[in-house]
Structure 1
Amino acid sequence: YDALRQAAPGFNYVNGARITGPCRIKKSAAEVALIQHAMDITLEVQASAARIMREGITTTEVQQFLSDAHLKLGADSVPPFRIVLFGEPTAYPHGVPYPQVLQEGDMILIDVGATFDGYFSDITRSYVFGEPSQRQREIWDLEKKAQSAVFATAGVGVPAEQLDYAARLVIESAGLGPGYSVPGLPHRAGHGLGLDVHEPPYLVKGNKVELGEGMCFSNEPMICVYGEFGVRLEDHICITDDGPRWFTEPSWSIDNPFNLDG
């Protein structure tokens, strides 16, 4: 749209997003395969990033590693977003504008994605550098339960808002919230992705769009505890006629976030 306007400014253009958007909301098998390829690579990068963590490393250093690793593995370009947070800043969904230095006991949150043949990946992992505290374990486990509830609710014909509601029900049952209050879940539970990293369907209160085969979206009901830390586990789901399917296997536990045996 913008490129056409610049190339031929003498015409009157109308943005066709209202028409193309609904066409893109359900992915073809070929598109799902491209997204799967992108997700597989970003999960590999996430696991590699965990192995370079050391006391004193900066968020800036980790961001550079994420860029280099994605490019080495065939990304179209430098990842357009590389959120790396240590400690208390992990409580903020979109990060903070200053770098941090990793210390023992810090919660680590990394949210990164890139494009491969034009299609996005987007994965978030949260884990602790060192031994997790009881509080960190409790919030991490609650996040895991909320993410599992979203997956269990997903299916053909289910309104998108029901998935957001399922996550909040779990979180509120633990005494957090209610609604969008903090400590709790101040953000929507997920978003679609494909050629854009954020596109329909959105898992948010009031969105009554019914899920259908081929819809692909994130599952990330982040729990924020301002002044302490936050936990976000983000994996993506594809809706099939047989039910929801994960693009990437969710983290097993705070002690084994990358599902490594032994």
Structure 2
Amino acid sequence: MTSPDRPAPLAPFTADDYRARMARAAEDADAAGLAGVLVAPGPDLVHLTGYRPTAATERLTLLVLRAGHDPVLVVPALEAADAAHAAGAGALTLRDWTDAADPYALSAELLAPDGRFGVSDNTWALHLLALQQRLPDTSYASLTEALPMLRAVKDAAELARLAAAGAAADATYEQILKVRFSGRRETDVAADLASLLREHGHEQVDFTVVGSGPNGANPHHEAGDRTIGHGDMVVLDFGGLKHGYGSDTSRTVHVGEPTAEEQRVHDIVREAQEAGVRAVRPGAACQDIDRAARAVITGSGYGERFIHRTGHGIGVTTHEPPYMIEGEEQPLVEGMCFSVEPGIYLPGRFGVRIEDIVTVTPDGGRRLNTTARELAQVE
């Protein structure tokens, strides 16, 4: 029996799950006018097959997906045993190659000689150029450009994993509020965040941003040796992977009582974040979320101090398409998950950012982070 504190374990993905994903990717590629999809080690390969090589090397590993053809994974012989144990291995054909063989000739046999292929963004140039040499009439496009929705829409099992990761990040935030900040280095608080994320089930910690005082005006400051002092505003942004899916949340806290200006800036960001979340609904464009949040900050006189996009997708990585930014007209679809994280950054003084992961529902958006967004005071 499970309790609210111990939710039922998540069922693992099956070969059928991966078979459906690969078939959908091949069909979407065909509909987009592509001859197929080529996937190197990285998040796309994990999403489509469940296979995560121990390390990306100069040896070619390549998943080939084409409508009307069985999926094939070209893999080095010394890694074939590991690939065969991947959850999705039963849904594809493995073709291994030894170091004495030519993997590009093997791969070329699987491709249309004059086709245009979508290629995972992190494919090594070494491999792509070698394929082009074997098949000079082929052409290629990045998957972010050619199939931006490849991983964007999550099914129920993926949403459950993202919700679990979000809940773990929320529990981490609730506990970090009880930690002493004043008189400690940013790196000390960052270590506390990492430890708490792992305590709450994260197998991987990707980042622990702790930006105190003027460091908070740098959105990607992470953490340094600065000693946090009484009167500092502190930006906290942290996340990683739990059950293979990402968490990412930001809150801004204050050591002691904030000034009227600090409270006002925080209130503006909180209002902007709320406006961004309210704008989430099926059919809205990604840029509409950015516009809604940005309008609040611009209308309050801080438009030039909001210096990044409003959000990014999240899934098997903590940053992935779609992106909530002006010019991105991709419509939102039920099951998409992304951050809504406006901020204001005052150089040399302080910064404020508030971030939740939101999923698109049939009638709006649902936050996967539920901790208080008011300005918390810490010691």
Using structure 1 for the length normalisation, give the TM-score: 0.89
Partner in structure 2 of residue 196 of structure 1: 317
Partner in structure 2 of residue 66 of structure 1: 193
Partner in structure 1 of residue 161 of structure 2: 34
Partner in structure 2 of residue 226 of structure 1: 347
8 Å contact kept, 1:235–1:250: no
Which letter maps to 1:34? R
- Equivalent positions of 1:139-178 (< 5 A) are 139-177=265-303
Q: What is the CA deviation profile of residues 187-237 of structure 1, one whole-angstrom value per residue up to 9, with x for unaligned ones?
A: 000011001111111000100000010000001011111121110001011
Residue 252 to residue 22, structure 1, CA distance change in 2 (3 Å): closer
Which letter maps to 1:84? V
Q: Does 1:46 align with 2:173?
A: yes
SS in 2 for 1:210: coil
- Equivalent positions of 1:109-258 (< 5 A) are 109-177=235-303, 181=304, 184-249=305-370, 251-255=372-376
| Greater CA drift, 95-104 or 84-93 | 95-104
Partner in structure 1 of residue 14 of structure 2: none
Q: Give the whole-Å Cα distance in 1 for the aligned partners of 2:186 and 2:308.
A: 23
8 Å contact kept, 2:187–2:223: no
Shift of 1:87: 0.8
Q: Give the whole-Å Cα distance in 2 for the aligned partners of 1:238 and 1:256.
A: 29
Unaligned runs of 5+ in 1: 258-262
| Greater CA drift, 15-24 or 187-196 | 15-24
Identity %: 31
Residue 191 to residue 67, structure 1, CA distance change in 2 (3 Å): same
SS in 2 for 1:23: coil
Which letter maps to 2:328? N
Q: Does 1:87 align with 2:213?
A: yes
8 Å contact kept, 1:124–1:233: yes
- What is the count of residue pairs matched by the alignment? 251
Q: What is the CA deviation profile of residues 24-46 of structure 1, one whole-angstrom value per residue up to 9, with x for unaligned ones?
A: 11000110110000010111112
| Greater CA drift, 120-129 or 60-69 | 60-69
SS in 1 for 2:211: strand
Residue 136 to residue 247, structure 1, CA distance change in 2 (3 Å): same
8 Å contact kept, 2:255–2:377: no
Q: Does 1:100 align with 2:155?
A: no
The structure 1 segments of at least 4 consecutive aligned residues displaced by more than 4 Å after TM superposition are none
Unaligned runs of 5+ in 2: 1-39, 42-55, 62-75, 77-96, 108-116, 122-142
8 Å contact kept, 1:35–1:194: yes
Shift of 1:59: 1.0
Residue 256 to residue 103, structure 1, CA distance change in 2 (3 Å): closer
Partner in structure 2 of residue 260 of structure 1: none
Shift of 1:72: 2.1
Residue 16 to residue 96, structure 1, CA distance change in 2 (3 Å): closer
Shift of 1:23: 2.5
Residue 96 to residue 252, structure 1, CA distance change in 2 (3 Å): closer
Partner in structure 1 of residue 10 of structure 2: none
Partner in structure 2 of residue 5 of structure 1: 60
RMSD (Å), alpha carbons: 2.0
Q: Give the whole-Å Cα distance in 2 for the aligned partners of 1:172 and 1:85.
A: 23
Shift of 1:20: 6.6
Shift of 1:97: 6.8
Higher RCO structure (Cα 8 Å, ≥6 apart): 1
Q: What is the CA deviation profile of residues 95-118 of structure 1, one whole-angstrom value per residue up to 9, with x for unaligned ones?
A: 167321111110011111021111
Which letter maps to 1:154? V
Which letter maps to 2:255? F
Structure whose alpha-carbon radius of gyration is higher: 2
8 Å contact kept, 1:85–1:100: no
SS in 2 for 1:111: strand
